[in-house]
Amino acid sequence: MDNIEQIKINTVVNGEKVEAFVEPRLSLVDFLRNELELTGSHVGCEHGVCGACSIQVDGSVVRGCLMLASQADGADVISIEGASDAGIVADLQKAFHERNALQCGFCTPGMLLTSSELLDQKKNPTRAEIREYLSGNYCRCTGYEAIIDAVETVAIDRAGSSHNGKS
Amino acid sequence: MANLKEMMQDHILDRPNSYIGKSVPRPNAKRLLAGRGTFTDDINLPRQSHVAFLRSPYAHAEIVKIDVTSAEASPGVIKIMTGQEMAKICTPWVGVLSHLEGIKSAPQHALAIGKACWQGEPVVAVVAKTRSQAEDAIDLIQVEWNELDVVVDMERALDSDIPVIHDELGDNLTWQRNVDCGDVDAAFKNADHVIEETYISNRHTGVCLETRVIVADYNPGEEQLTVYLSTQCPHMMQNLFAKHLGLEEHKVRIICKDVGGSFGVKVHSYPDEYATAALAYCLKRPVKFTADRLESFTSDIHARDHRINTKIAVSNEGEIQAFEIDDLTGIGPYSVYPRTSGIEVNQVVNLTGGQYKNRNYRAQARVVLQNKSPMCQYRAVGHPVLTLITEGMVDDAARRIGMDPLEIRRKNLIPDDSYPCTAPTGLPFEKLSHHACLEKLAKMLDYDALQKDKREARENGIYRGIGVATFIEVTNPGATFYGIGGAAISAQDGATLRLDAKGNLIVEISVTEQGQGAEAVVAQCAATAMGISLDKVRVITGDTDVTPYGGGTWASRAAAIGGEATVQAGKALKKNIIEVAGIMLQADPATLDIYNNNVVDKSNNTERISLEEVGRICYYRPDTLPKDYQSELVVTRHYVPKQFPFAFTNGVQGCYVEVDTNTGFVKFKKYVVVEDCGTVINPQLVDEQIRGGVIQGLGGALYEECLYNSEGQFLNGTMADYLVPMAVEMPDIEVGHVETPTLESELGAKGAGEAGTGGAPAVIMNAINDALSPLGGKVTRQPFTPERILMAIGKIT
Amino acid sequence: MKPAAFNYKKPSTLTGVLELLRESGEDSNILAGGQSLMPTLNMRLSAPSLLIDINGVDELFGISVTDNTVRIGSMTRHAELEKSSVISEHIPLINAAMPYIAHPAIRNRGTIGGSLALADPAAELPACLCALRGFVEMTSTSATRKVEAKDFFRALYETDLKANEIITAIEIPRYDQNYFSFIDELSRRHGDYAMCGLAFHAKIEEKIISDAQIVFFAVEAKPIIAVTAMRELEGAKISDVSLEVLQGAVGNDLDPFGDLHASATLKLHYAKELIKRAITSGITSG
């Protein structure tokens, strides 16, 4: 199509100010990956189902493939790189590592950000609640149990209280 | 010959400070957790372009005319290529192997020539500056198609009124195999009970979360093709790209960084990947192809599309007297290259009923062509199908004679003390542990309590069922799997160990990391064999310019074969180090060992000299060593199993489910797996392979199915419509082990990557059918959907 | 799988949106939450020349309560509805519907207006709005009008919304404490589109049912109000309802279509199962 106007955006990504001109059709996850070279957010389906592109925008986890880069104008965006460097998900990362709650690692950034949002909202989730909250994030390797274990471990550690394990 | 005591002193499993059997977290997982892995799509090279493909919208259609005029004028377009031009750069291939006697297939091209044979076959390649621009141009290509009659239903593929897909083949029968062992006819004639059943294993696909990705670059100055590829087998792909692009093999380098799931999908060669490499060669610049999810559904291999008629003979006392199967499988329009699409059914024929004592076995298998996506090996190749039918038949037999499912298995499984022995088809079993696994499973399930619970629930109108499925699993294949048939697929793998000047150990190995933990396991083997700590070990995989030559990761072989190569290289390097340390220390090498990063006195582990110091002297001060002595701190060793064609593993899965007879929904109440993969190198990684494998198997059993209409159109090729397991519905799984090491290798490990997947469909089917049995219903067609369950019990018609 | 090129505008006022919409006509698409639109763009199933992003229009956001109604701005996101105490207090049916709508990340972005405008036959909110006898407020440069939900949904993905209009708000009558809300659905996996769903809303006072609204979704092209079944319930004592008769009435009311995951027969079977669950739940809730 002719006469496509590039969109100027000002956004904050992982705490850094970003000013860019973007094609209107560029998705936010492609912008992060290809323009900002933040390749930790992954593209798994581009139709909003798999959750591999999960990123945090203005405090909420969203699908990076279902938002346009132009919509990030004025927004505060945090990808796994930023969350990792800021230590926001450090305990989750440690628990995932110790429990081997990842295999290929492709879904892992999305799992971490979504788990982090869950634990911000709910201090003592049951295993069923963890499973439900993570149900929009596909993992093809682990079978989920290790991920649930890891999130549960962190929830218990953060709450500093005892919990009845699996049931 | 060394005496036993000496052998044991040097044995890998008898090392002090051993990492074998320890759940060590994977060192390479940390970068993935930080979002700092490098998946192939993360790689962008200078002057990189992107290719997208116009794919056939039809299952079978003649390509009458392709007009690319408008597309060529589209912004950003660099090159548009059709089949004829592509064929001048990239030669076609035929997916056959000589040891699958009589298998035939047609030449397949990187881009279709003349006609397209499945919906999704690549037809035109468009290279542009961006992927978006390539797709824009594709929208402008005009193709005139002439739709042809399709072959969709495999049951009809051989009928005379059905078109032959490739005229030169004469018919749509790619391969057939028959085996007849013992006296099957007599067994059925004399049997107390003969039970017949038909099972349908549904066509499904791998759905790796990372799609297939390739970035190819050709440097004309060096005449070097460098290919970054998300793959399981770098050296195989090196051979294939060189062969079909007419390059010298050493001028092709395959680099495989992090792989976002593979499961067998990435062990094959694909037309769009050849096309991408060919375009890079032709354009002399980097070309990237990242399959999008929609094209993954129609271009990744599919698997497991089988219809199997079965028949079992059983005596009143529960003795299984014969198995007979007739397997029909439709593999799409081509046998996939280079492994062929005959292996899956070959496994079914080879191994059905293989865990049982029965010697009367007959199998007929036919492999037919059809206009659907090509089908080939996917995780647990054939095993989900053969275990489904074997264990389905055995449960049928048990139900018929009123015998407990565990009891009939106890009676018929090959006794643990009767090895070595063979399957009826002749495949040798070194040593398996069916009974030990079964008893352990019964205990872990608390089988008797479950039976009681099930009975009580039924009194309250709640239908619960217990499923049990034993299995055998092919792992660690030697050269008889592919190499013998003419495929350039290495059965052997190698490890190079290098002690650096600081006393660290660098391991370069030909097996690859797919997330299963190969690098961690190799590090454990290296550290243990060498007597050094894990933090001193760095493992490098996935680069044909760097690692020894080898097969890569498939058929549950990386840990066991790569691990053994590492162990042997570690022992050899240790010997070299001790030798040079002996010179430095003026000590008899026989009195020295390595322990905790130091050369120590073997008798009491006291430190004599650190590895760092050994490294320093060897590299920086070799002048202090004798003039006629050269130290060797790099060692390479290879390993391939030779005594047995495969290291069979075995195990048993059990589960307890509740079926909602109003909705047909199945809820897991308990899931247990006991398996025997020989020496367990890293228990946590093995358990997670089992768990992930089970869930993938349950996906095929409960959800996943590639649906086609009668025109061969794929109906559910999106993530929203093709259902894979998600977190809410899947069970927690208890895993138990029995360890029967293979004596063929010092490590004794066998594979563990596929056992979960192989057994899962059978166990869930048996559990559902146990729950439904009081209602007279039974499901045998995967996936076992709520609708099929309700139909089975007559709730809907 | 990248969208065809389009232009993008993000007005900050409703007037600005409506002006753009009037100028561009059918060549443009409104971008609300984008959770259904973006996939269709990515797959090139649609290729508008202009996207009008309404995420910058403050007046479309938020929930307010008057004496008789609850008004929900069309850009109110599912996650906000899920967390809103106003919604859980005054419209528990909407609150109860939330966990069924896809997954948290989708609910963080998706909006009620977007869901109604798309009118997916398997979506929960259109059925809920019908059961609650809510109104859809639509605005163009020339007028604002309200249409009752049952008249808003016309056919498969087809609504009363005109090309020059956008949905600006949803108004739902406030019901007294004696109203009973029930939603349930059967889907293959949690968060999937339903194979069959039911939104049920009725007054149950002294165990007597009145003013029942029974709306099925994922059975036909649009939400189906089961009028025969509703008549069966009117004035009935809930514990005395004959499930068989009620299920028969549901059978009369529905003419399901089959899809990839459920045949017409299965959908009807499930509809009968769900109405049973609604009554059972109504009994136990007292």
**Interval C11-35: pLDDT, tens:** 999 999 999 999 997 899 999 999 9
C6 closest CB neighbour out of A24, A27, A66: A24
User: Does C12 touch chain A if contact means CB atoms closer than 8 Å?
Assistant: no
Q: Are B341 and B366 in contact (CB under 8 A)?
A: no
Distant-in-sequence, close-in-space partners of B682: CB < 8 Å, separation ≥ 6: B21, B22, B23, B24, B517, B520, B521, B524
- Assigned token pair, B10: 């040097």
Other C-beta atoms closer than 10 Å to the C-beta of B283 total 19
User: Does C191 touch chain B if contact means CB atoms closer than 8 Å?
Assistant: yes
Q: Indicate if the pLDDT at residue B1 is higher than 60.
A: no
Q: Indicate if the pLDDT at residue B430 is higher than 50.
A: yes
What is the DSSP code (8-state) at residue B414? P
Q: Indicate if the pLDDT at residue B4 is higher than 60.
A: no
Mean pLDDT of B100-123: 97
**Interval B620-658: pLDDT, tens:** 999 999 999 999 999 999 999 999 988 999 999 999 999
Contacts A48 to C, Cβ<8 Å: 35, 38-39, 106
**Interval B748-775: pLDDT, tens:** 999 999 999 999 999 999 999 999 999 9
Residue B45 burial (CB < 10 Å; 0-12/13-18/19+)?
Answer: middle
Q: For B130, name the nearest residue in chain C, comparing CA atoms only.
A: C2
Question: Domains plus CATH for chain A?
Answer: 7-84 (3.10.20.30), 89-159 (1.10.150.120)
Q: Indicate if the pLDDT at residue B526 is higher than 90.
A: yes
Mean pLDDT of B260-270: 97
State which fold the B302-479+643-792 domain adopts.
Aldehyde Oxidoreductase; domain 4 (3.30.365)
Identify the pLDDT of residue B293. 98
Distances (CA, A) of B340 to B178, B391, B643, B671: 18, 27, 25, 35
The percent of residues in chain B predicted with pLDDT above 90, rounded, is 96
Mean pLDDT computed over every residue of chain B: 96
Mean pLDDT computed over every residue of chain C: 97
Q: How far is A87 from chain C, CA to nearest CA, in Å?
A: 22
Class of CATH domain B40-148+211-259+265-299: alpha beta
Class of CATH domain C180-284: alpha beta
**Interval B8-64: pLDDT, tens:** 557 888 888 899 999 999 999 999 999 999 999 999 999 999 999 999 999 999 999
Identify the pLDDT of residue B480. 86
Query: ∠ CA(B121), CA(B125), CA(B126), 5° rounding?
Result: 140
Distance CA B546, CA B544 (A): 5
In the structure, what pLDDT confidence band is assigned to residue A161 with cuts at 50, 70 and 90? Answer: low
Which residue, among A144, A100, A98, A94, has the nearest Cα to B517 in the 3D structure?
A: A100
Residue C33 burial (CB < 10 Å; 0-12/13-18/19+)?
Answer: buried
CB contact under 8 A, A142 and B261: no
Does 3.40.50.80 match the CATH number of domain C61-173?
Answer: no
**Interval A89-120: pLDDT, tens:** 999 999 999 999 999 999 999 999 999 999 99
Domain boundaries, chain C: 7-53, 61-173, 180-284
Identify the pLDDT of residue C26. 81
- Assigned token pair, C108: 């963080």
Distance CA B588, CA B573 (A): 17
Identify the pLDDT of residue B209. 98
Q: Do domains B4-37+492-639 and B302-479+643-792 have the same CATH topology?
A: yes
Mean pLDDT of A22-47: 98
Identify the pLDDT of residue B8. 54
C98 versus A3: the higher-pLDDT residue is C98
Name the interface residues of A facing C (CB cutoff 8 Å).
1, 3-5, 7, 23-25, 27, 30, 46-48, 51, 54, 60-63, 65-68, 70-71, 73, 114, 117-118, 132-133, 135-137
CATH of C7-53, one of 3.40.50.300, 3.30.43.10, 3.30.428.10, 3.40.50.10800: 3.30.43.10
User: Does B88 touch chain A if contact means CB atoms closer than 8 Å?
Assistant: no
Distant-in-sequence, close-in-space partners of B465: CB < 8 Å, separation ≥ 6: B454, B656, B657, B658, B659, B766, B767, B768, B769, B770, B771, B772, B773
In the structure, what pLDDT confidence band is assigned to residue C286 with cuts at 50, 70 and 90? Answer: low
Identify the pLDDT of residue B6. 53
CB contact under 8 A, B29 and A100: yes
Can you name the residues that pair with C216 across neighbouring β-strands?
Answer: C198, C224
Identify the pLDDT of residue B317. 98
Best residue in C28, C30, C38 for a mutation probing chain A (most A CBs within 10 Å): C38
User: Does C190 touch chain A if contact means CB atoms closer than 8 Å?
Assistant: yes
**Interval B87-110: pLDDT, tens:** 999 999 999 999 999 999 999 999
Q: How far is C159 from chain B, CA to nearest CA, in Å?
A: 24
Q: For A84, name the nearest residue in chain B, comparing CA atoms only.
A: B34
Q: Are B374 and B336 in contact (CB under 8 A)?
A: yes
State which fold the B4-37+492-639 domain adopts.
Aldehyde Oxidoreductase; domain 4 (3.30.365)
B796 closest CB neighbour out of C2, C186, C266: C266
Mean pLDDT of C173-189: 97
The percent of residues in chain B predicted with pLDDT above 70, rounded, is 99
C189 closest CB neighbour out of B294, B728, B797: B728
In the structure, what pLDDT confidence band is assigned to residue A18 with cuts at 50, 70 and 90? Answer: very high
Beta strand pairing call for C69-73 and C166-173: antiparallel
**Interval B450-491: pLDDT, tens:** 999 999 999 999 999 999 999 999 999 888 888 899 999 999
User: Does C68 touch chain B if contact means CB atoms closer than 8 Å?
Assistant: no
How close are the terminal C-alpha atoms of chain C, in Å?
Answer: 52
Q: Are B539 and B581 in contact (CB under 8 A)?
A: no
CB contact under 8 A, A42 and B260: yes
**Interval C245-269: pLDDT, tens:** 999 999 999 999 999 999 999 999 9
**Interval B156-210: pLDDT, tens:** 999 999 999 999 999 999 999 999 999 999 999 999 999 999 999 999 999 999 9
Can you name the residues that pair with C9 across neighbouring β-strands?
Answer: C52
Contacts C35 to A, Cβ<8 Å: 48, 63, 66
B293 closest CB neighbour out of C1, C195, C266: C1
CB contact under 8 A, C6 and A1: yes
Domain boundaries, chain B: 4-37+492-639, 40-148+211-259+265-299, 302-479+643-792
| Complex ipTM over 0.90 | yes
In the structure, what pLDDT confidence band is assigned to residue A162 with cuts at 50, 70 and 90? Answer: very low
The percent of residues in chain C predicted with pLDDT above 90, rounded, is 98
**Interval B651-684: pLDDT, tens:** 999 999 999 999 999 999 999 999 999 999 999 9
Identify the pLDDT of residue B2. 42
